[in-house]
Amino acid sequence: MAIGVKVMKRPERQVSYVRATLKGMALTFKHMFEPKVTMQYPEEKSTADWSISQRWRGTHRMLTDEQGRSKCVACGLCPQICPANCIKLVPGEDEQGNRYPLIYEIDEFRCVFCGYCQEVCPEEAIHVGVHFENAEYTRGRFVYDLERLQSQTHPVSTLWDPSDPRGE
Amino acid sequence: MTPEMKGFILLSVIKMLLVFTVIMIGVALLTLMERKVSAWMQNRRGPNRVGWAGLLQPAADGVKNILKEETFPALANQGLFFLAPALSFIPALLLSAVIPFAAPLPLDFDFSLGPLGRFAHHGLMPMVVADLPVGFLFVLSISSMGVYGIALAGWSSNSKYALLGGLRASAQMISYEVAMGLSLIPVLLMSGNVSFGAIIHEQQVGLWYVLPLFLSFFVFLISGFAETNRLPFDLPEAESELIAGYHTEYSAMKFSFFFIAEYANVVTVCAMVTTLFFGGWDIPGHWDEQGGVLQTLVTGGAFFLKLMFWIFFVMWIRWTLPRFRYDQLMALGWKVLMPLALAYIMVVCTAIYAIEHVAGITNPKVEALALFGVNVVVGLLVFGLLDSGMFVRGSGRRPATSEVTG
């Protein structure tokens, strides 16, 4: 016998077709009465067994301060770190010398949802969100401007914490 | 034309419309049932969005299929390509004409309808579209025509997958037709008649043939699966090998027609199993021999329940067993089912002769019970051998080379 040829020991006598068929049929019949695993999506979006992770990185959200202005100080770190180059930021400055974004746009089609913008932001202004229902009728609607980013209400991602890698 | 003849035509048209409507709607709902049953067996819910519990899903599918673009392969044989869906669809529907679906209805009327003249009917009306005296032979001959639709669909598509599917279908359906026909001969031996009405009547006075002719039933059921190209014998449309087999090139409503034909065939085979082996519309215990409208309704319900059980059974098998390999399929047909059916004819012949002429038993019930005893013995033997893998061999049981040469 050639080296490395493994001969499977196959059953010689106990090959049961009738019993195996009946066993299979009993199994499938039993399954008909087991609880269904399907989640009825539009009606129920999370169940006890399944809910979306707190670390989910979805479409962005810009947090605001008490006066309803964005927390962003237009430091320029997020467009700098963004690997997909999807953030457009034009900084402005008011009379007191506070910087704020004149234009802040995120192209959600270009975004790779790495979450670096949230990680790098010194003011904890821009966040990726725990959110996945993003359907729109036109492509243009996927460029989120500052107003839209501020008006999002979904929870923000907690991202991955190196000191707590398993989220405990 | 006599008033009786006109009455007969009127009743026939009504029954035709009734059966046709029920079959067409039923077939549409069966596609939903198939998806529901498969979902339940896989712990899913199945379609439940369109209409209440998904009941309008077939309508949605139908609308989708009507609105879809029809494609024609460039080098297809246009005429046959067009004809094939109809050819597979028509025999499937034709068969439903000869299946009795309820006890005969006592019906007396005699009325005039203006210029059409008098319509009259007296006595019992058989609840079957065409009460053919050769119903049984009609079924055998028409069911063999179903292969044309599939073979022509495969051939006319000018596609290698479709052609292979068509080839497989023709080989498979012709092979299993032999076993199917042979498996039904014991039924004829028992009933002594080829009309469905007579076969049902014999089962009423005796026992349902599933007991005295169990192996016939077994062979018929397996051949029925193969005839309708259902899993585990759906080699003609084995999607892992042939994309979609013979209907690869079909789209829109023409594709739908193959689907309808498949389910209509399933209904027919299940109706045959019900009629030939489970007493048709018969309810045991002679309750159903009192006559009347109520009897017709209740027996119709009984027939429907039996039919639904067998349709469910077909789906149950489909979602349980994996597909056969092609050589196993052919081996099962020619080397197991056909000899089994032949041998069984011999056994039943001998047993009937012994019971009727040697033992001199004429009571049909006792005769059926005696045959049932014979069946227990033969059945245990056959299933014991089947179970030990003596008939059907998996790849692991191929004889070693030395065994073959030596």
pLDDT tens digits, residue range B60-95?
888 998 898 888 888 878 888 888 888 888 888 888
Q: Can you read off the two tokens belonging to residue B55?
A: 């009941």
Q: Of all residues in chain B, what percent carry a pLDDT higher than 90? A: 1
Which range in A39-48, A109-118, B123-132 is most confidently predicted, on average pLDDT? A109-118
Residue of A nearest to B314 (CA): A25
| Contact yes or no for A28 and B316 at CB 8 A | yes
Residue A167: pLDDT band by 50, 70, 90 thresholds?
low
A88 burial class (0-12, 13-18, 19+ CB within 10 angstroms)?
Answer: middle
| Contact yes or no for A34 and B43 at CB 8 A | yes
- How far, in Å, are B152, B224, B234 from residue B142 at the CA level? 16, 14, 21
Bond prior to B232 in cis (omega within 30° of 0): yes
> Residues B89, B268: contact at Cβ < 8 Å?
no
Encode pLDDT of A98-115 as tens digits.
Answer: 888 899 999 989 999 988
Residue of A nearest to B383 (CA): A18
- A107: distance to nearest CA of chain B, Å? 34
| Contact yes or no for A36 and B320 at CB 8 A | no
| Contact yes or no for A40 and B45 at CB 8 A | yes
> B293-318 and A18-31 are packed helices; what angle lies between their axes, rounded to 10 degrees?
110
Number of helical H runs and strand E runs in chain B: 14, 4
Considering only B235-244, B273-282, B379-388, B395-404, which range has the smallest mean pLDDT? B395-404
Placement of tokens 């007493």 in the chain: B279
Q: What end-to-end distance do the CA atoms of chain A give, in Å?
A: 55
A32 contacts in chain B (CB < 8 Å): 37, 40-41
Collapse the DSSP code of B177 into the 3-class scheme (helix H, G, I; strand E, B; otherwise coil) and give the result: helix
Alpha helix stretches (DSSP H) within B75-229? 78-95, 135-156, 160-191, 196-205, 214-227
Encode pLDDT of A111-165 as tens digits.
Answer: 999 889 898 988 888 889 888 888 889 998 999 988 888 888 888 888 877 777 7
Quote the pLDDT of residue B404.
Answer: 44
pLDDT at B402 over 60: no
Distance CA B297, CA B103 (A): 8
Q: What is the 3-state secondary structure (H, E, C) of chain A?
A: CCCCCCCCCCCCCCCCCHHHHHHHHHHHHHHCCCCCCCCCCCCCCCCCCCCCCCCCCCCEEECECCCCCECCCCCCHHHHHCCCCCEEEEEEECCCCCEEEEEEEEECCCCCCCCHHHHHCCCCCEEEECCCCCCCCCHHHHEECHHHHHHCCCCECCCCCCCCCCCC
- B249: distance to nearest CA of chain A, Å? 33
The conformation of residue B358, written as its DSSP 8-state character, comes to I
CA dihedral A46, A48, A51, A54 (to 10 degrees): 130
> Residues B149, B89: contact at Cβ < 8 Å?
yes
Residue of B nearest to A16 (CA): B387
- A44: distance to nearest CA of chain B, Å? 14
The stretch B182-197 carries a mean pLDDT of: 85
| Contact yes or no for A32 and B41 at CB 8 A | yes
A36 contacts in chain B (CB < 8 Å): 40, 43-45
Quote the pLDDT of residue B48.
Answer: 86
Distance CA B329, CA B128 (A): 35
Report yes or no for ipTM above 0.90.
no
Distance CA B51, CA B54 (A): 5
- B35: distance to nearest CA of chain A, Å? 13
B388 contacts in chain A (CB < 8 Å): 13, 15-16
- Whether residue B40 lies within 8 A of chain A, CB to CB, comes out as yes
Q: Can you read off the two tokens belonging to residue B230?
A: 């259902």
* Sequence-separated (6 or more) residues with CB below 8 Å from residue A118: A126, A127, A128, A156, A157, A159
A10 contacts in chain B (CB < 8 Å): 396-397
The conformation of residue B213, written as its DSSP 8-state character, comes to T
Whole-prediction pTM: 0.81
> Residues B156, B80: contact at Cβ < 8 Å?
yes
- Whether residue B381 lies within 8 A of chain A, CB to CB, comes out as no
Is B285 or B69 the better-scoring residue by pLDDT? B69
- A51: distance to nearest CA of chain B, Å? 19
Quote the pLDDT of residue A14.
Answer: 56
Return the CATH fold of A60-151: Alpha-Beta Plaits (3.30.70)
Residue B1: pLDDT band by 50, 70, 90 thresholds?
confident
pLDDT at B188 over 70: yes
* Sequence-separated (6 or more) residues with CB below 8 Å from residue B304: B101
Of B198, B203, B194, nearest in space to B302 by CA? B203
Q: What end-to-end distance do the CA atoms of chain B give, in Å?
A: 77
Of B121, B105, B100, nearest in space to B292 by CA? B105
pLDDT at B406 over 50: no
Residue of A nearest to B389 (CA): A15
A29 contacts in chain B (CB < 8 Å): 41, 316
Distance CA B154, CA B156 (A): 6
| Contact yes or no for A28 and B388 at CB 8 A | no
B387 contacts in chain A (CB < 8 Å): 16-19
